[in-house]
Structures are given as C-alpha cells and as structure tokens.
Structure 1
Amino acid sequence: MASGQNTTTVNRFESSESDGLSTNDTLLWIGPHETAEFCDAFEFCSEHASQIAVRSDIEDALHRMPGQLGAVLIACPDDSACTAPSNTPQWSLLSELGWQLPIAPQRFLMMGTLCAGQRPSVSESFDGQTFYWHAWNQILPFQLQRCGVSAKSASGRTPHSLAIVSESHAAADALMEVVADSGASVVWYRNEHQNTGRNFDAVWWDDSAASSATGAMWNLRMSAMRSPKAHHAWITSAPTAKSIQDARRGGIDWVLSKPMRIESLRALLGLSVSSGQKSQRLTSRAA
C-alpha cells in the first residue's frame, strides 16, 4: 500500500447492492498508517475493505479526492498532523474537507495519544465520529459496511464456558450479564491463582486484576488458568502501543479499551452483530 503522494486503490469485491447502497465504495484513509498506533487499524482496513485509497494529509486529499466514497478516516497522531504544510489552521482544513465530501460517506477521526487535550479540539472541527486509536477494533469492524467490511470480520470463536478475572465482582458483573445472555457458562475469579476451574473456552482479563505486563508475565497468568486452548481478551483503560504489543506477545488474542462497546463483546462471543447499528457502551456497576 502506497503512502505519501502515491495513491493505491485496491478492489477485491464485485459491486453489489443492499438497500440501495453500494457495499464496495472506497475507504479514503488520510494520514499515517505505519506507526505503532495506527498500523493495526490500517491492516484491518486493507484486508477487509473492498477499496482503500491513501492520502498523506488533508491537503493531499483535498487536491486528489477519489470518487464513489463510502467512508473517510483521518488518522491524526498529534496536533500538527491535522495542520497543512502551509500552516493553514487545522480546523479550516477539516471544514473545507467536510464541504467537499458528499453527504453519504461516513466520517471518522482516529486520534493518537498526543491529541489528548488539544485546543481547539480536532473533534470539534470535524463533523464525524471521533475515537482514540486503541478503540479502532470496537468501531471500524461495525461501521464500515459501505466499504465492504462485515461485522463478522471481528467475530471470535463461540465459547461455551468463560472465566472473567477482575479485582471485584462489581467490575465483572456487567461483563457476566453480556456473557450470560449468550447462553455460555461464566464464572468470576478475583485473580488467576484462585482459579478452581479447568479448560475454559475463553478468559477475559480486566485490568483491575491484570495490569499491563511483559509477555512473560502474561504467559504466567495464562498458565495459572489451566485452560491451554482458551482465547484470551484483555479489557483495559487507555492501553499504550507497547502494552498491547506485550499482551499479544504473551498470548492475548484481543485487547479492548474501556469503555467497551457491547457489539464488540458480542463479536467476541461469536454472536451476530448488525453492521452500522448504533454503538452502545457497557457501563460497569460501581464497586
């Protein structure tokens, strides 16, 4: 996939129509895609979107706008990323981009860690859905149906038994309700060393009991659960690129950032999720 001033558009799906909307429209990606924060989201889009066009920055996109857009995603690592080389104010560029876009395309602003606390806020200058980079896997798989992405792309293996590891039952209660609705059996453990069960299909680790750790530490945690074939998910607040990398190195299959969206949890349970449905966040009960 080319970046910078080069554009690569890949089409892997034939045209189809559903409810009058094309499902092979182009996803326009604006901004970097090889950084640690954005590479996973870009890899997902490259694999699952029917067509993707890459532009290095907003000015590049304004000068070379692709046709038949289904969605526009701006990857903004920091304040300067949404400012043109000519120092045009970022909010002016975003407004101009908004004017040039057709009404139909979905709009996403994926912010990097250094976007926190910006003033004026980038999210206030872009009429679209704004989220931080670590939440991409709770947004993009369910909102890019116009570009050929199916919610099934995020689905995990359907578990029949699941363990939730958290510091308190209050932290696990909302998660247990979601699992119970799927028909799977679910138990709660305060930590992996209190595990009296065996051979769970899945284990969900809440950061109240499982903070960021090295890959070796994650391996120790998982071995204590005595479920060698389990799929593992780590649910955590504001993970870093390094903590995600360490978790994956240690055997974590999915990392979900808080607040979780119910559709992403349902996908982990192998349940059907309607693409494009309104996102709902899971609210944990107070301890």
Structure 2
Amino acid sequence: MQLVDHGGVTDHGTLLWIGDRDSNAYCDAYDFCESHVSQLAYRVDLKSALLRPASAVRTILCCRDNDSAESVELFRTLCRLHADAKAVLLLGPLCAGARPSPADLFAVPTIHWHEWESFLPGYLRRCGWANRPGGVPQSIAVVAASHANASALLSIASSGPASAIWCRPDQLATLHRFDEIWWDDSATQGESWDDLMNRLVDPPREHVWVSGNVTPKTKSAAMEAGVDLVIAKPGDFSLLIDRAAGETEFGQRRAA
C-alpha cells in the first residue's frame, strides 16, 4: 500500500474546480468535493479561471474531457497565479491512451475519473476536508485470503475506535454484527459479488473494496452488488484512514 504525503495538516484553503461537473464521469467527484471542502470555487474553463481569480486557492482540479488539450500555457499561467496551490488533472474516459500523456503535457499529477475515491481526497486536505461526521464504524471485518494479505488493511482499520478482525472468504457466514466489511482483492479474485454477498448471514452497514484491478467495469460491478466505496491500490488511503479514525468534516462550506 502507498500513502501519499499532501503537505501535512489540514488547512482551509479553496478548491478551484475547472471544467465539467455534471457528466457521469465527474458528478460524483464534484458532489463529494462540494460537500466536504471548506471552500469551493467553480469555473467553467481555464479562461474563466484566469479572468475571475478565486482567492486563497490551495488545490486546482482541472477536468480534462478528451485528448484535445486546452492551452497548456493557460494552465501554466493559472498555476503561476496560484503559486501556493497544488494542481491535479481529473481525466475523463476519452483520455485513455492519449499521447503525449496529460501528465507529461501538463507536468502535474493525474487521476482517472473512475479512481477518484482512491487519489483525490488527499488533495482536499488542503481545502478543509476531513471524513464525514457520525457513522464511525465500531467494528470492521477485513476479508482476505490470508493474514498477510489482510495485514495492511487491519492496521488501518484498527487505528481508530473500531475493533478489527481478519476473516477468510470461506468464513463469511460466521460474521455477525459488523458495521463494515473491507474486502481485499485477494478474497474477491475469481469470485462473483453476488455469491460473496449471499454468503453473509448478517450483512454490514457498508462495504469497502480495495483492489489492484479497479477499472470502470469492475467498479460498476462492485457498486451494483452493494459495495459503497472502491479504493485502488497502490493509492492514497486517506479515505480509509480517516474513515477508521472518525475525523469530522467542517460543517459550513463557503463559496468562493
């Protein structure tokens, strides 16, 4: 597992979101940002972001719909304008296989649209993000093929108030009264989600899947089966860490 350092403690700067926020590729990420950051400034494109500068910007998120780039120079100008901000591109479905790659073209980190849960939250720490209030799990079962596969998730799950145990896939029927089940891909590989869910006698409140094979297809299948959160590995495990710790979010978002 990979933990990403985004600059230390949470602060309360502005998230500058540039581009599409309504299409299926971006709407969930935008809704998450809107409800979790302390300040959000929306601009329809790079030109608008330059003409109407937002204040106290700490993270720039630019949605890239396809491989026909808006001016790289506009983007660089924007980054110079907000010199203290970290910039990241959220890549849409049509960017797959683009050459040169957006990361090379814009010289900033990139996040694929279907992996935003795994990588975006860490950038939001600079904009007042913390985990949702309430609903802190008191018990977590980590389902993995072996204790070695489960160890990293167990470490995170037990870092907060929750009690955490490891469970093999063939022991699912023994799980009772757990708030959450965290599925490692060692337990789900070659299995159908319907079969796995049907083995649960006492379903938990929420399911989390941590996998090294997160694609639009596998993510959709997991969500349709009832998985609430899909995390890619290696990645940024901020969502899992704060989920286990029970940190609270800042209540009132201010528009910028």
Q: How does the TM-score come out when normalised to structure 1?
A: 0.68
Whole-Å separation in 2 of the counterparts to 1:171 and 1:108: 31
| Cα contact 1:156–1:269 (8 A) shared by 2 | no
Q: Name the CA distance, whole Å, in 2 between partners of 1:93 and 1:133.
A: 22
Matches within 5 A, 1:101-112: 101-112=81-92
Q: Are the structure 2 counterparts of residues 138 and 156 from structure 1 closer, same or farther at C-alpha, using a change threshold of 3 Å?
A: farther
Tell me, yes or no, if the aligned pair for 2:159 and 2:245 is still in contact at 8 Å: no
Runs of 4+ in structure 1 off by over 6 angstroms are: none
The answer to whether structure 1 residue 157 and structure 2 residue 132 are counterparts is no
The Cα of 1:234 is off from its aligned counterpart by: 1.2
Task: Please point out which of 180, 190, 202 is paired with 1:202.
Answer: 180
Amino acid at match of 2:60: V
Structure 2 residue matching 1:137: 3-state secondary structure: helix
Show the counterpart of 2:238: 263
1:77 equivalenced with 2:65 (yes/no): yes
Structure 1 pair 261/57, CA: closer, same or farther in 2 (3 Å)? same
Shift of 1:103: 1.4
Question: CA distance change for structure 1 residues 51 and 185 in 2, over 3 Å: closer, same or farther?
Answer: closer
Deviations 1:197-248 (A, max 9, x none): 32222211122332599xxx64552342223343211112353445434433
Where do 5+ consecutive residues of structure 1 fail to align?
1-20, 85-89, 276-287
Secondary structure, in 3 states, of the residue corresponding to 1:269? helix
Give the Cα separation in 1 of the matches to 2:154 and 2:99.
Answer: 39
**Structure of larger gyration radius:** 1
C-alpha separation in 1, matches of 2:227 and 2:11? 36
User: Residue 210 and residue 113 in structure 1: after superposition, are their counterparts in 2 closer, same or farther (change >3 A)?
Assistant: farther
Map residues 111-150 of structure 1 onto 2, 5 A cutoff: 111-126=91-106, 128-147=108-127, 149-150=128-129
The amino acid across from 1:191 in the alignment is P
> Aligned residue pairs: how many?
241
- 3-state DSSP class of the match of 1:124? helix
Q: Distance in 1 between matches of 2:178 and 2:234?
A: 25
Q: Distance in 1 between matches of 2:148 and 2:11?
A: 44
Contact kept, 8 Å, 2:119 with 2:235, in 1: the verdict is no
- TM-score scaled by structure 2? 0.74
Structure 2: which 5+ runs fail to align? 1-9, 251-256
Provide the residue aligned with 2:253 in structure 1. Answer: none
**Letter of the aligned partner of 1:69 in structure 2?**
V
Shift of 1:68: 4.2
> Structure 1 residue 234 and structure 2 residue 209: aligned?
yes
Structure with the bigger RCO (C-alpha within 8 Å, sep 6+) is 2
2:27 aligned residue: 39
The residue identity in structure 2 corresponding to 1:79 is D
Q: Is the 8 A contact 2:141 2:180 kept in 1?
A: yes
- Map 1:213-252; keep pairs closer than 5 Å: 218=193, 220-252=195-227
Tell me, in whole angstroms, the C-alpha distance in 2 between the residues paired with 1:139 and 1:48: 15
